[in-house]
Structure 1
Amino acid sequence: MLENNPIERHSSFKTFILNPDFKSSVKHILIIRPGAIGDVIVTLPTIGAIRKHFHNARIEIMGYASFLEIAKGRFYADTVSRFDQADLAPLFTKNSNISASLINKLSNADLIISFVSDKEQIMVRNLRAAGAKHVIHYEPFPSESEHVHIIDHFLKCLDLLGIPHSNKIPKIFLKDEDVLFGESFFKNRIVHPNKMLVAVHPGSGSRQKCWSLDRYVELILWLNEEMDAQILIISGPADTEIVEDLRVKVKDKFILADQLPLPFLAAIIKRCNLFVGNDSGITHLAAAVETPAIAIFGSSDPSMWGPRGERVKILFKKSACSPCSFDTRRNCITQTCLGSVTVEDVMSEIRYTYQHSF
């Protein structure tokens, strides 16, 4: 059984992981990765490398089911399980009693890789006490002193373990049913299939990361009138109010993709000519299906949190107070950073993309 200290302190991990006997003996890997859609996507290059290294193993990812659908049966995971289960709560309490069902589940995994913040190692100790054979823990966030893109932060875990990797760009693999849904959506909902189709996601998990609604209105009207484009508005559970306000201001001059399962939404975005959105998980999704994407950033540092892809353009104008902390962003009322990105900035990037991509 491995000691379960952080990887950085464990020089024996690399030797152990690369041991051919161990590699061939691993039949079931449990990766614990709770988080929203963007959190899942930035971890995909790391999970993909683990999949290739342990190519004979069955991989299970534990997290939030609706977000993990983009991985389930789509290369990265054979199955997924829920992190928000009541019997998991004792894992975060010292000297707790673990249920028999959870002990059975954990003991069946040959290797557990936890991307859960656990600086005091409480969860790791409980996993070991519950019968987990081998546990690797890696903090999901870089230290405050470490300026590194979040994708590279996770890949550093592989470097420390000696697991080879070459891909630093997330990619989503669609199943046939996803592609067929996208085709059906276009056939039934897209009126002019030969016109440019621009997907727009005006929302985000945080309202403080959202570009001004009035600017989205101006952009949509310009796309309609000057570019003769069709607009597909993407709406998630947190976007209802924004979309309703948008509907009033642009008079239904858009097609709505409302709260669709993520694999289906990915298939639809992949068929669009362009995507425009905020600092959100859906923008990471657009980048991961290789649709030309324009991401509008304000309070977050795009060099750490920006979507990564060969067809991604991030619009960010650093201000005196940005990037800023979560608490500062939450209490901000001016949004100077987002206000610095003008409608003309986005229009100019759209013109450039149109000239070079269509």
Structure 2
Amino acid sequence: MDKRALVVRLSSLGDVVLTSAVFDPLVELGYKPYLLTLKPYGELFSDDHRVRVLQVDKAELFKKETLSSLKGFDLYLDLHKNLRTLLLRLKLGGRWLSYNKESIRRRLAVHFKVFVKPYSVVKAYLQTIGYAQGKPKLLVSEERLKLWEERLGSGYVCIAPGARYEKKRYPYFREVVRLLLSEGYRVVLVGDKKDREYTQGWEGENLCGELKLSDIPAVIKKASLFIGNDSGLLHVARAVGTKCIQVYGGTHPTLGFAVEEEEGLYLIRGLPCQPCDLHGKGSCKYKTFPCLNIDPGVVFESALRLLPG
């Protein structure tokens, strides 16, 4: 496999994970996949032998040494498509393909519902190289899986209550945890240090802020079900093959990040104000976040439908 393809997706966590959908197709096309991303996202691929990760600090991206190391690839895939990657294209040269981001249509969908239509970022990534179907896939080593099964067991429900923006953060996960525990299910919480503060005192096994990024895929893979917001760890669950429940707030499936039917399900109120922002930023114009007013019993019942037995 002499040809090399550089997949460019600098951030954020979920978007970077979803680029894994193109790794196997690139191998089928005769390329060795490389991934250019910002630190620390490359750690997610620590066990994935299919791809070589080139991980850089944001401040180093356009330094002479970095640019020199990025030259000479047979194919460049721009799966970020912003001003920084445009500048990379100008500086590196070579053969570039970029995905159909539908930037204008998605922004218009925030304000005009006539522009709300089905769209999948994963399918858009794949269509860049001529593939119609495929799924994100993260490989996790047997050694890492065995290590975490010895520590945690398996078959638990993994819940990630955090999200970068308040409009994407479902506020009733604690009640969902209690409902699951009352029915005899084990619950493991995952997230970062901020999520640790948020979940202080919650029941269940709290691993928020305790895991290395390279270990998170293994912990999620050993779960029977993952429940989370429209955020990065949800896409890790998709990529390791764990059934998911995705809870929507201020965003919407039309923006491209909804789970597919075979991956699980998503819950959305379907209010006229959804989506209210491309990324879920900002404050709620109603001050009450009605989009997140989904009864925890609904999330619990959805979980029971997806859990084995």
Residue ranges of structure 2 left out of the alignment (5+ in a row): 107-116
Quote the offset at 1:76 in angstroms: 3.5
1:150 aligns to what? Answer: 121
Aligned length: 293
Q: Confirm whether residue 294 of structure 1 aligns to residue 259 of structure 2.
A: no
Quote the offset at 1:166 in angstroms: 5.8
1:241 aligns to what? Answer: 197
2:14 aligns to what? Answer: 38
Quote the offset at 1:202 in angstroms: 0.8
Q: Which amino acid aligns with 2:242?
A: T
Q: Confirm or deny: 8 A CA contact 1:276 1:294 kept in the other structure.
A: yes
2:266 aligns to what? Answer: 314
Deviations along 1:21-59, whole A, 9 cap, x unmatched?
A: xxx752x3322211122101222212331132124x3x3
Q: Percent identity?
A: 20
Quote the offset at 1:211 in angstroms: 0.6
- What are the residue-to-residue correspondences of 1:135-284 with 2, within 5 Å? 135-138=95-98, 141-145=101-105, 147=117, 148-159=119-130, 165=131, 167-186=133-152, 197-212=156-171, 215-225=172-182, 227-244=183-200, 247=201, 250=202, 253-259=203-209, 260-284=211-235
Match of 1:345 among 276, 295, 298: 298
- What are the residue-to-residue correspondences of 1:41-190 with 2, within 5 Å? 41-55=17-31, 57=32, 59-77=33-51, 79-89=52-62, 99=64, 101-118=65-82, 121-128=86-93, 134-138=94-98, 141-145=101-105, 147=117, 148-159=119-130, 165=131, 167-186=133-152
Deviations along 1:253-312, whole A, 9 cap, x unmatched?
A: 211223423342221222222221111111111122222221111221124211336241
Quote the offset at 1:73 in angstroms: 4.6
Quote the offset at 1:234 in angstroms: 0.8
- Secondary structure of 2:103's aligned partner: coil
Q: Which amino acid aligns with 1:156?
A: Q
- Secondary structure of 2:61's aligned partner: helix
Q: Confirm or deny: 8 A CA contact 2:160 2:228 kept in the other structure.
A: yes
User: Aligned pair in 2 of structure 1 residues 221, 283: CA closer, same or farther (>3 Å)?
Assistant: same
CA distance in 2, matches of 1:243, 1:207: 15
User: Aligned pair in 2 of structure 1 residues 32, 329: CA closer, same or farther (>3 Å)?
Assistant: closer
User: Aligned pair in 2 of structure 1 residues 137, 306: CA closer, same or farther (>3 Å)?
Assistant: same
User: Aligned pair in 2 of structure 1 residues 275, 107: CA closer, same or farther (>3 Å)?
Assistant: closer
User: Aligned pair in 2 of structure 1 residues 211, 87: CA closer, same or farther (>3 Å)?
Assistant: closer
CA distance in 2, matches of 1:72, 1:305: 24
- Secondary structure of 1:112's aligned partner: strand
- Secondary structure of 1:272's aligned partner: coil
Q: Which amino acid aligns with 1:30?
A: L
Residue ranges of structure 1 left out of the alignment (5+ in a row): 1-23, 90-97, 129-133, 160-164, 188-192
**Higher RCO (C-alpha 8 Å, min separation 6):** 2
Q: Confirm or deny: 8 A CA contact 2:168 2:280 kept in the other structure.
A: no
2:111 aligns to what? Answer: none
Q: Which amino acid aligns with 1:228?
A: G
Task: Give the TM-score, by structure 1 length.
Answer: 0.73
User: Aligned pair in 2 of structure 1 residues 322, 75: CA closer, same or farther (>3 Å)?
Assistant: same
Deviations along 1:170-216, whole A, 9 cap, x unmatched?
A: 122111232122223225xxxxx7xx62111111122220111xx22
User: Aligned pair in 2 of structure 1 residues 309, 182: CA closer, same or farther (>3 Å)?
Assistant: farther
Quote the offset at 1:108 in angstroms: 4.0
CA distance in 1, matches of 2:9, 2:281: 25
Q: Which amino acid aligns with 2:157?
A: V
Quote the offset at 1:145 in angstroms: 2.5
Q: Confirm or deny: 8 A CA contact 1:65 1:81 kept in the other structure.
A: no
Q: Confirm or deny: 8 A CA contact 2:61 2:67 kept in the other structure.
A: no
Q: Which amino acid aligns with 2:98?
A: Y
Q: Confirm or deny: 8 A CA contact 1:204 1:210 kept in the other structure.
A: yes
Quote the offset at 1:137 in angstroms: 4.2
User: Aligned pair in 2 of structure 1 residues 270, 151: CA closer, same or farther (>3 Å)?
Assistant: same
Whichever of the two has the greater Rg, that structure is 1
